[in-house]
Structure 1
């Protein structure tokens, strides 16, 4: 049934910190869809490449300087955000990730319908007293969220199991399947790694270089992989606080590519993509790799199983923090090209049917529709596209 277009005066304010990685891509995809639907989209974030990309899309970007983690600057960040909200008069606030969720809910305190999307819970990222404090905050601040949006059923279950009470929606992450699509590996390898033997088995890991993403576990496993698959090479794509420590521990068969504005060529260049995370909500990297037709080895953490079709789980899912299991899965797939091709094709079909970004945008529109009943919600999925993403 046709849904009316929203009033162009409908204002949505997205708050985000961090400004890179998967959270930034989610914000960008939502802003693009919502702008196309006719909403007035404002994004408050620190000055960054994300800010420039959002301006290019037509979003109203407001500079909100904020650190990635809570600290002494928090009171000033909350005051600046409160002033910005008063200036922009949004009908709805959508806060992404723990830091924006902290500052945003303190600034709004329920005066405006607020969506909080954790993109992995803050109390999973820390330990000891800090974790206890983060959990107490999430329990308390849930009263200031009109809707808690999780990217996986596992993320929601972690929240409810931890005693966080509130109205929930689960909206799985999605990827642009037109942009992330299969292509031959040879051309990508020649462009990215001209000095590398094109026949060398290539593993790619895309993600921020930090404890969460588990690249240290992959490096611990890598010597065993190379013993089983001589000549194999590993590329770490990304930057982050653990860069120098990881470099110091890496052998010569590991390359550090740094941050990439476009990760599509790296997925296409890979024989296999690995994400050895210690925790996730639902990482985009496995979905992006599968959309490019590349098999993925990832860890059995919240949301990871939901990023893989059941057929891939026995060969592609390993325990978190287990270098031996990780090495076995990686080496086994590197040695079996027909199996990799089959798993990659199955993964592509799964993403097309379940994790197309248009499906995600439509689900978020449904959340907004419920919270803003007096305003028609955005029709972010073209009528002609519905059949292709709703099997």
Structure 2
């Protein structure tokens, strides 16, 4: 438990169920603290390893920390903006509020009102920024480039996963559901693999609730095509960086996405990426000169087949794109860069 007197930034998490927002908080807080930010979390659903404060500690917010005119409250959901507005505007506590938006749609009137009351707004992509009607700072997500990195020996990495070291593998990782475009990936593989015996495919991720039937239907399609041994559904794994290291090509086939980290995770592992034009994918994947992969229209099976064939059939192109992606993620998308940019927003708000 953190001492509120030594906390300058509060990161609330008012949702028990694990989500992308929760995962972002879990990954960023230790990095931000390592960079010198005095930040602590508030709320349920977070690991005990993170420094946290209690709700009763909020009574101390009438007093500012030493050397600061206020504290910062970093909200990422509507339910986290509202109490901060009450604390600041109705109770007169010494607080300034930051909101991070990942939404890529028109905001409701209620959301617009809450956002209008913020002291600073962060957008996670240029597309997100276009939907905001207030000044904002674009800060793209980053990833842990120490956790996601290329294998020393690709054949050994494949063998460790029970894969054939002599096969090339194309992967699709994430929740198995229609929104994620898993069916597009499977259908493209059914069209491409029969005439490419050196390639196989991996679907890594979990289907939950109503999506289990969707996954079972996809497995039936694969079986009917006679490709059960070459399009593998491996389920959800905690060692997902190891599965990236077993790939030669990655596809992000989503129909919709808020941001989407999988292309960055693949590129950080030296794997070229084919991604649909959703979320922040077009801001992550470089096409043309210095390409790291390709960006295609969402929900376009033919475009996916053509783009995938182009990389499957060109070893040199894959090698070059993989190297470009590795360099790009290390230079521009390390999570430390994201943490520094966010900390800079805090510092501007806490200047005397």
Which TM-score applies when normalising by structure 2? 0.81
CA contact (8 A) 2:71 2:96 kept: yes
The answer for the alignment partner of 2:30 in structure 1 is 32
Residue among 139, 160, 178 paired with 1:171: 139
Specify whether residues 18 and 198 from structure 1 end up closer, same or farther in structure 2 by C-alpha distance, changes over 3 A only.
farther
Residue 186 (str. 1) matches residue 158 (str. 2): no
- Write the distance in 2 (CA, Å) between the matches of 1:211 and 1:18: 25
Structure 1 vs Structure 2 CA RMSD: 2.7
The answer for the alignment partner of 1:141 in structure 2 is 114
Give the superposition deviation at 1:313. Answer: 5.5
Give the superposition deviation at 1:346. Answer: 0.6
Residue 247 (str. 1) matches residue 239 (str. 2): no
CA contact (8 A) 1:282 1:307 kept: no
- Write the distance in 2 (CA, Å) between the matches of 1:259 and 1:91: 39
User: For residues 249-271 of structure 1, what are the alpha-carbon distances to aligned partners after superposition, in whole Å with 9 as ceiling and x for unaligned?
Assistant: 23123322222223211111011
CA contact (8 A) 1:116 1:148 kept: yes
- Write the distance in 1 (CA, Å) between the matches of 2:182 and 2:309: 17
- Write the distance in 1 (CA, Å) between the matches of 2:192 and 2:33: 46
The answer for the alignment partner of 1:102 in structure 2 is 78
Residue among 348, 355, 360 paired with 2:338: 360
Residue among 101, 104, 108 paired with 1:118: 101
CA contact (8 A) 2:12 2:80 kept: no
SS where residue 286 of structure 2 aligns? coil
- Write the distance in 2 (CA, Å) between the matches of 1:247 and 1:120: 31
- Write the distance in 1 (CA, Å) between the matches of 2:57 and 2:53: 12
Aligned positions, number: 320
Specify whether residues 45 and 218 from structure 1 end up closer, same or farther in structure 2 by C-alpha distance, changes over 3 A only.
farther
Give the superposition deviation at 1:300. Answer: 1.5
Specify whether residues 177 and 14 from structure 1 end up closer, same or farther in structure 2 by C-alpha distance, changes over 3 A only.
same
Residue among 182, 190, 193 paired with 1:226: 193
Specify whether residues 259 and 137 from structure 1 end up closer, same or farther in structure 2 by C-alpha distance, changes over 3 A only.
farther
CA contact (8 A) 1:292 1:348 kept: yes
Specify whether residues 217 and 366 from structure 1 end up closer, same or farther in structure 2 by C-alpha distance, changes over 3 A only.
same
Specify whether residues 226 and 87 from structure 1 end up closer, same or farther in structure 2 by C-alpha distance, changes over 3 A only.
farther
- Structure-to-structure mapping, 1:17-56, within 5 angstroms: 17=15, 20=18, 22-36=20-34, 37-46=36-45, 51-52=46-47, 55-56=48-49
CA contact (8 A) 2:126 2:138 kept: yes
- Write the distance in 2 (CA, Å) between the matches of 1:199 and 1:188: 12
Greater helix percent: which structure? Answer: 1
The answer for the alignment partner of 1:345 in structure 2 is 323
The answer for the alignment partner of 2:254 in structure 1 is 277
Give the superposition deviation at 1:15. Answer: 2.1
- Write the distance in 1 (CA, Å) between the matches of 2:174 and 2:290: 21
The answer for the alignment partner of 2:294 in structure 1 is 316
- Write the distance in 1 (CA, Å) between the matches of 2:240 and 2:201: 15
User: For residues 84-138 of structure 1, what are the alpha-carbon distances to aligned partners after superposition, in whole Å with 9 as ceiling and x for unaligned?
Assistant: 7736859322233xxxx121123223624222223334x4xxxxxxxx7x63333
Specify whether residues 61 and 297 from structure 1 end up closer, same or farther in structure 2 by C-alpha distance, changes over 3 A only.
farther
Larger Cα-atom Rg: 2
CA contact (8 A) 1:147 1:166 kept: no
